[in-house]
Amino acid sequence: MSPTIQDVMTSPVVTISPDAELKDAAARLRAGGFSALPVVDSQGRLVGILSEADLLARAERPATSVRSGTLAGQLMSRPVVTVSADASLTEAADLLLRYGLQRLPVVDGAGRLAGIASRGDLLKVFLRSDEEVARDVRERLRAEGLPDLVTAVEDGVVTLSGGAGEEPARRVVEAVAGVVAVRDVPAVG
Amino acid sequence: MLAGSQGAAEGPSAPRMGSGRAWRLRTFGPTDTLVAARMLTAAMNGATNGQTLVRDVMRPPVLVPERTWFRELVRLLRDSGSGFLTVVDAGGMPIGAVTGEDLLLKLARRRIEERPAGHESAGRRAERRKAAAVTARELMSEPLVSVPPGEPAAEAVRVMRRRGLRHLAVVDGGGRAVGVVERGDLLATLLRDDDEIRQDVEDLLARELRGGAIGVGVMVCDGVVLLRRLRDLDFRLDDVLPAVLEVEGVLAARVLDVSVAERWRCPS
């Protein structure tokens, strides 16, 4: 089965509450080596994102931030672009690219945070074995009612046999997450 | 060349530390990040002539041969913890760059290919090419946008802003890739315009000093604030340094003994 966001996202997620002090947020980021923290309320609902860049800008004025007592909820950004757990990797990639984001929070129907999917998490799908990719490709072809023209998968490149008549199969295979490219071998005879 | 004389007899010379003038550096809060340490070093090194250089903030480059395969690029990006790979030719010379975003295009391939093909911008055509690419050479953005290591860091920031980039390759005089500047490493302070900082410092002085800021000359060079007396003042100029350091974007601040008659400008 082709991986969905749920399969590649990081969960559980380190989060921060809107009432948290900035120095706690900074400590949490450093401890985990993250670049951003989702801000969630007491019900676990996502209300914003606090990134490292936001904190660094503020850290330049330690005296000011202590005086004004800025909390995570005041510095975070919202609305947040999110994706649902059953979304496809293609959808998620499209969102990341369109909005120029580094990461996407994954939420359930009630707006509760389920995980976080970064660019790196999505790209992991290309590190799967050729066997796994072949399995997904065949399953997809079956699901689309197309013949299994796969003759090999090597380094993410799928070889299809069958000549020019395989155009629909080629498009379907190219769209399977983890496939790097599709090659044809012209039909013999 | 900035003129900072000790006395009339000496004539113009570079400002020197330990000249008897108060020399205050921003104190960073307790932090274990490499970036903050680098910034501090940069401020101390560069501050004698008011400049933080690209070499002070750059990271080592991750070089990949142009024939490197897609999966290997994904692995390299993940293992290096960097978002930027410098593509090199057979001679080891940099020819382009691959970022995580370029690799991500492959996942969005179907949508990219389904876009109506007519009247596409150069950027969109590049996306199509990258979505179909399998080697570093096919994936990379070229020509490589780069800065020399001796360039002021603020210039690197300007280039990144102008082109909407998150990284810049650092290439030396011999054409070799020697580093990468990541936007995240350039703390927010470097993004601040010298003119904006000067305005804020002048406003601060106007607020804090009796008689306003009229007797004080302010110059800002790459985040380093230089003050001088334009006439006799009834307070020590050094006493305002702590407040000046608090202004956003200020890396360091000092008072210079430069007479009113002399023109002074930031080192170029």
Per-residue pLDDT at B70: 97
CB contact under 8 A, A53 and B103: no
pTM of the entire predicted model? 0.68
pLDDT band of B51, cuts 50, 70, 90: low
- Report, as an integer, the average pLDDT of A162-185: 83
pLDDT band of A63, cuts 50, 70, 90: very low
| Number of CB atoms found within 10 A of residue B153's CB | 27
Q: Does B121 or B62 have the greater pLDDT score? A: B62
- Report, as an integer, the average pLDDT of A94-102: 88
Q: Count interface pairs A-B at CB distance under 8 A.
A: 91
Q: Is B134 on the interface with A (CB under 8 A)?
A: yes
Of A40-44, A55-59, B161-165, B230-234, which has the strongest mean pLDDT? A40-44
For a pLDDT cut of 90, what percent of chain A falls above it? 39
Residue identified by tokens 């609902």 is A45
pLDDT in tens, B137-180: 999 998 999 999 998 887 787 788 778 788 999 999 999 999 99
Q: Using CB atoms, pick whichever of A52, A96, A181 lies closest to residue B104.
A: A96
- A interface test, pick of B71, B78, B107, B245 with most A CB neighbours within 10 Å: B107
Got the DSSP string for B157-200? HHHHHHHT-SEEEEE-TTS-EEEEEEGGGS-GGGGS-HHHHHHH
pLDDT in tens, B178-195: 999 987 666 543 446 778
- Residues in A closer than 8 angstroms to B189, CB to CB, are 60
Mean pLDDT of chain A: 83
Q: Cβ-count burial of A33 within 10 angstroms (0-12 exposed, 13-18 middle, 19+ buried)?
A: exposed
- Residues in B closer than 8 angstroms to A62, CB to CB, are 29
Q: Does B120 or B261 have the greater pLDDT score? A: B120
Per-residue pLDDT at B21: 36
CB contact under 8 A, B70 and A60: no
Contacts of B10 (CB under 8 A, 6+ apart): none
| Angstrom distance (rounded) from CA B132 to CA B112 | 10
pLDDT in tens, A112-153: 899 999 999 999 999 999 999 999 999 999 999 988 888 899
CB contact under 8 A, B187 and A56: yes
pLDDT in tens, B75-86: 999 998 888 999
CB contact under 8 A, B71 and A126: yes
CB contact under 8 A, B70 and A126: yes
Which residue of B lies nearest to A154 if distances are taken between CA atoms? Answer: B71
What is residue A117's three-state secondary structure? strand
Q: How far is CA B249 from CA A111, B27, B224, in A?
A: 38, 13, 9
- What ipTM score was computed for the predicted complex, to two decimals? 0.83
**Lowest-pLDDT range, A36-40, A68-72, A170-174, B39-43?**
B39-43
pLDDT in tens, B201-254: 998 888 877 766 678 889 887 677 888 888 888 788 888 888 888 777 776 788
Chain A nearest CA to B78, separation (Å) = 7
- Report, as an integer, the average pLDDT of B120-135: 89
pLDDT band of A175, cuts 50, 70, 90: confident
Q: Is B111 on the interface with A (CB under 8 A)?
A: yes
- Report, as an integer, the average pLDDT of A19-28: 79
Per-residue pLDDT at A58: 55
Is the pLDDT at B14 greater than 60? The verdict is: no
CB contact under 8 A, B104 and A126: no
